[in-house]
Structure 1
Amino acid sequence: MSQTIPATLIPGDGIGPEIVDATLAALDALGAPFEWDRQIAGLEGAKAAGDPLPAATLASIRRTRLALKGPLETPSGGGYRSSNVRLREEFKLYANLRPARTIVPGGRYDNIDLVIVRENLEGLYIGHEHYIQIDDDPHAVAMATGINTRQGGRRLLEFAFEHAIATGRKKVTIVHKANIMKALTGIFLETAQQMYEEKYKDRIAMDAVIIDACAMKLVLNPWQFDVLVTTNLFGDILSDLTAGLVGGLGLAPGANIGADAAIFEAVHGSAPDIAGKGLANPTALLLAAAMMLDHCRLPEQATRLRRAIADTLNVDQVRTGDLGGSASTAAFSRALNARIANG
């Protein structure tokens, strides 16, 4: 492999180091050209550096503009904000990409192949909240302000349309609640319709659906959808719903992509109850690494990795306990690396 690609590696908390080790082994077996700068964050960062997102970690990502991270735990108390949210804000990671693809067949739903593109920086998640006191109750009224901008919508929608076209998708569905939140989500729908007419109507199909109807339709007939694009809160909910269609968060990778950086992750938690026991399933992070390879224009290695994961799970029937098997994290990793070597 000619040139190395600098990348920041954040093993994370709980089961993070175990699933990161398994993922690094698979990337090494593929001959992936990443040159890792190992950093800390989350609980580990708070303990070692007094900050869940240490300055050295941020500096590393600013330098590499690329990161792979395990799950992070937000320390309880102390007024700490979520490290994941801070990372998105710090690097303006406006697009959250969450594919949901059937990898273990035979579940309640089969042949699922969906992508959720979620706006990552705006909406109700900006955190503008306050209470109003009435009489002696300081928390008598709770208020939150959501903000969606035309510019933020256009940026995300352009990413979604371009990604859909580049990956051979057939349809983009805009998910909204403009019938009730006419301004807050109406601006997103209106921006999508304008952009579609201006740039994309001859290149891909587009439709729109109200969020509550979308949730029902995803349960009744998820195959009617292809790429779903939506605002922050709706995207958070729908991305977990679609993960449930393919077996849960243990099979759900994620990418946070912005103008200046891209961070790839397993979206499940740090599972401290099973940390260090060799029980963790590294599949979600491995699939995130495949997304990272695609992002770095290494599609052949990404395809080899996805194929090896599918063959390990389905042909070799090597599965961790959460998927009904009995393999340890290390045993799964060995079987996967043997598949890569033979593939």
Structure 2
Amino acid sequence: MTRMYPSSGKSWNPPGRKPRSSRDISWSWRNPSRIRGEETMKHVLVIPGDGIGSEVITPTVEILSELVSSIDFEYASAGKALFEAEGFSISEGTIEAARKADAVLFGATETVYSSAYRSPVLDLRQKLDLFANVRIIRELRPNRKKVDFVIFRENTEGMYTRDEEQLPGEVITHRRISESACRRISEFSLSYCEEHGIGEIVCVHKANVLRLSDGLFVRIFREIASGYAEIESSDMLVDAAAMNIAMAPERFRAITTLNLYGDILSDLGAGLVGGLGFIPSANIGQMNAMFEPAHGSAPDIAGKGMANPFAAILSSAMMLDHIGFRKESEKLAEAVRSAVPGVEVDENGRCSTISAVDTVKRILFRS
């Protein structure tokens, strides 16, 4: 069943999805055009970026190359270093290469506070229409309080359209919330929950103040959720959600929300489980996908061998699942889960990169 949304003409059509009257529903959030045949070579564009980006992505690609022989890796540059050298942060050629790839594996880029600089991550999300950001918040360290939920974030609109206007004595930022984007992220998040056996989801918003824009989001979510009787759905104000994540994270299994809220709440969740070095993320569109650790370039520790690689490795596991290597994906994710208790991680989520990678490899490739 394909749903067309008038404001953009675009659709989110879950692969293999049957009408909701059928109870024999089975689909994967992976794009069917990306799922491999037995001997199909897959093409992944790797963009290490700045700072610790290359330090976590390089060993991740080494692991992938040993785990799966039928992936071809191509490298491209993006970020601050490229901007300083060439005057742009990502080339149109790289964006086109990303469009043609089966997936993009991205490292991290350094924030540049210049009106001339454009975030390459935001450019890729928007130009490839990667409308769904998926961040998994899960406690992997031993002897800790259980935290295990996923945040779905609308990835192309809201406060991150970068539509700002300079006026005398003030700046106006335009915030766009469309019906089509609300429908896509609502359908995607609910379908993901159905596929992965997640029985409850919370729509997070600020409709008590932003009555038109966030009100639209809540209305569309409720409409879509009404077709998922097996999933318990509710909504919550973003400030209340922040408090509850901090105080009782076990209350949550899934959250769907708008761009800015999702960005902030996922960092809050990361703080509960050891930091962004443990948080993988996916950016999913109808035809393309990009996978990246949720952390930044961390220039203060770049080159010191203390970058936590677990988020990058887990992001690559999500990528493997997306392009059809589900068995290998599960094997890699399980190796990380088994490795974490044996790696010394400090209070800032930092660890020996080499030690962490070697521990994963030892578990993954032991005979």
Same fold (TM over 0.5): yes
Q: CA RMSD in A?
A: 2.0
Matches within 5 A, 1:175-194: 175-194=204-223
Structure 2 equivalent of residue 296 of structure 1:
323
What is the CA deviation profile of residues 190-244 of structure 1, one whole-angstrom value per residue up to 9, with x for unaligned ones?
Answer: 00111122x22x2311111111111111122111111100111111111111111
Query: Which of these residues, 227, 249, 252, is aligned with residue 222 of structure 1?
Result: 249
Q: Sort the Cα spacing of 1:226 and 1:4 in 2 relative to 1 into closer, same or farther, 3 A.
A: same
1:287 aligns with 2:314: yes
Range 153-162 or range 290-299, more displaced: 290-299
Structure 2 equivalent of residue 135 of structure 1:
none
1:147 aligns with 2:147: no
Which sections of structure 1, spanning at least 5 residues, go unmatched?
A: 133-137
State the shift of 1:188 in Å. 0.3
Structure 1 equivalent of residue 15 of structure 2:
none
Q: Sort the Cα spacing of 1:27 and 1:130 in 2 relative to 1 into closer, same or farther, 3 A.
A: same
AA of the residue aligned to 2:270: A
State the shift of 1:102 in Å. 0.8
AA of the residue aligned to 1:143: I
Matches within 5 A, 1:169-318: 169-197=198-226, 199-200=227-228, 202-314=229-341, 317-318=342-343
State the shift of 1:75 in Å. 4.3
Check the 8 A contact 2:79/2:89 in 1, yes or no.
yes
Distance in 2 (CA, whole Å) between partners of 1:35 and 1:285 is 18
More helix by percentage? 1
What SS does the aligned partner of 2:146 have? Answer: coil
Check the 8 A contact 1:74/1:80 in 2, yes or no.
no
Distance in 2 (CA, whole Å) between partners of 1:319 and 1:23 is 19
1:333 aligns with 2:357: yes
Matches within 5 A, 1:3-14: 3-14=40-51
Distance in 2 (CA, whole Å) between partners of 1:142 and 1:191 is 31
1:120 aligns with 2:155: yes
State the shift of 1:274 in Å. 2.2
Query: Which of these residues, 190, 208, 211, is aligned with residue 161 of structure 1?
Result: 190
Distance in 2 (CA, whole Å) between partners of 1:236 and 1:77 is 21
What SS does the aligned partner of 1:342 have? Answer: coil
State the shift of 1:175 in Å. 0.7
Distance in 2 (CA, whole Å) between partners of 1:146 and 1:242 is 25
Q: Sort the Cα spacing of 1:216 and 1:328 in 2 relative to 1 into closer, same or farther, 3 A.
A: closer
AA of the residue aligned to 2:97: S
What is the CA deviation profile of residues 233-290 of structure 1, one whole-angstrom value per residue up to 9, with x for unaligned ones?
Answer: 1111111111112111111111111122100001211122222222211111011111
What SS does the aligned partner of 1:256 have? Answer: strand
State the shift of 1:38 in Å. 0.8
Check the 8 A contact 2:42/2:102 in 1, yes or no.
no
AA of the residue aligned to 1:80: Y
1:319 aligns with 2:340: no
State the shift of 1:301 in Å. 1.3
Q: Sort the Cα spacing of 1:89 and 1:245 in 2 relative to 1 into closer, same or farther, 3 A.
A: same
Q: Sort the Cα spacing of 1:287 and 1:40 in 2 relative to 1 into closer, same or farther, 3 A.
A: same
Q: Sort the Cα spacing of 1:39 and 1:290 in 2 relative to 1 into closer, same or farther, 3 A.
A: same
Structure 1 equivalent of residue 80 of structure 2:
43
AA of the residue aligned to 1:127: R
Distance in 2 (CA, whole Å) between partners of 1:19 and 1:321 is 17
Range 266-275 or range 113-122, more displaced: 266-275
AA of the residue aligned to 2:82: G
More strand by percentage? 1
Range 19-28 or range 282-291, more displaced: 19-28
AA of the residue aligned to 1:129: E
What SS does the aligned partner of 1:233 have? Answer: helix
Percent identical residues: 35
Q: Sort the Cα spacing of 1:241 and 1:75 in 2 relative to 1 into closer, same or farther, 3 A.
A: closer
Q: Sort the Cα spacing of 1:329 and 1:175 in 2 relative to 1 into closer, same or farther, 3 A.
A: same
Matches within 5 A, 1:93-132: 93-107=130-144, 110-132=145-167
| Aligned residue-pair number | 330
Check the 8 A contact 1:74/1:81 in 2, yes or no.
no
AA of the residue aligned to 1:121: T
State the shift of 1:299 in Å. 2.2
AA of the residue aligned to 1:180: V
Check the 8 A contact 1:249/1:284 in 2, yes or no.
yes
Q: Sort the Cα spacing of 1:321 and 1:219 in 2 relative to 1 into closer, same or farther, 3 A.
A: closer
Range 259-268 or range 43-52, more displaced: 43-52
Which sections of structure 2, spanning at least 5 residues, go unmatched?
A: 1-37
What SS does the aligned partner of 2:159 have? Answer: strand
Structure 1 equivalent of residue 19 of structure 2:
none
Check the 8 A contact 2:54/2:107 in 1, yes or no.
yes
Q: Sort the Cα spacing of 1:168 and 1:32 in 2 relative to 1 into closer, same or farther, 3 A.
A: farther
State the shift of 1:62 in Å. 1.4
Range 333-342 or range 179-188, more displaced: 333-342
What SS does the aligned partner of 2:361 have? Answer: helix
